[in-house]
Amino acid sequence: MSWDLIPKTDGMRAGDNWLADLEPAKEEKKRKRLAEFRRKIEAALAPDKTLLKMFEATLEMTHYTGRVDGLREGLELYEYALRIQDKKTAAFRAMMKYMVNNPKKVTPEAVCAHLDREIDRIRAQKTAEVSIGPPDAWGCKTWTEALEKKPDDVNALFYPAKKEAQSERYCTLMAWRTWGREKQKKVRAGKPKE
């Protein structure tokens, strides 16, 4: 799939918009129709053995080319996810997650308020260290305080996070992640209770 053929998503959840046509349930219907078309074309080409063999060879080459392209894109998405995990801070990733889940509320104020609520929640649970706070070098205890005292520094983190969260590649990653969760839920639901 060519990235330039995918329409812009403006931060909306990818699984709900431009990738909806590629959702696994819809994909299965397309595969059934493809099998039906293939049977009809093979029946029409049956009298001409040479054309039938060429058609079958073309389908086989297309199948393997698609598989290789899919594996390559999957590997690229996996490596992209690793880069985000390894090279971006927890606060940057938390900002991105909020922006994807709340595309209409993407303002520095809204994101900072959300991060402060998350910090309070983590502290109240006392189950983990707070890793999404403002950098210690800023000398701010909350994101709201950081936005007041260091607006340029907050914006220097906010706008790259927004750009990344609204990128086609990140939305694709989130869509595949969503579909993977749905499949896991179905598998778990199908298991008998012990």
Which of 136 and 183 is assigned the larger pLDDT? 136
Could you please report the per-residue DSSP string of 100-148?
Answer: HH-GGG-SHHHHHHHHHHHHHHHHHHTSS---SSPPGGGT-SSHHHHHH
Assigned domain for 98 exists: yes
- The torsion angles phi and psi of 87, rounded to 5 degrees, stand at -100, -15
What the block records as the tokens of 80 is 């992209």
Kindly state whether residue 65 falls inside one of the protein's structural domains.
no
pLDDT band for 138, please (50, 70, 90 cuts).
Answer: very high
pLDDT at residue 45, rounded to an integer: 94
Residue 180 is assigned to a structural domain of this protein: no
> Do 99 and 161 form a contact (C-beta atoms < 8 A)?
yes
Task: List the alpha helices (DSSP H) in the chain.
Answer: 24-45, 49-87, 90-101, 108-125, 143-149, 151-165, 168-190
Q: What is the per-residue pLDDT for 186?
A: 59
Domain with 151, as residue range(s), is 90-165
The yes-or-no verdict on residue 71 having pLDDT over 80 is: yes
Label residue 187 by pLDDT band (50, 70, 90): low
Q: How many domains does the chain have?
A: 1
Average pLDDT on 51-58 reads 94
Residue 171: inside a domain:
no
At residue 62, the pLDDT reads 93
Assign 191 a pLDDT band (cuts: 50, 70, 90): low
The pLDDT-based confidence of 110 (bands split at 50, 70, 90) is very high
Comparing 16 with 160, which gets the higher pLDDT? 160
Q: What is the pTM of this model?
A: 0.64
Domain membership flag for residue 158: yes
* Inside any domain, residue 107: yes
Q: Is 102 part of any domain? A: yes
Do 173 and 82 meet the contact criterion of CB atoms below 8 Å apart? no
Q: Which residue has the higher pLDDT, 19 or 71?
A: 71
Residue 150 lies in a domain: yes
Asked whether the predicted pLDDT for residue 24 surpasses 90, the reply is no
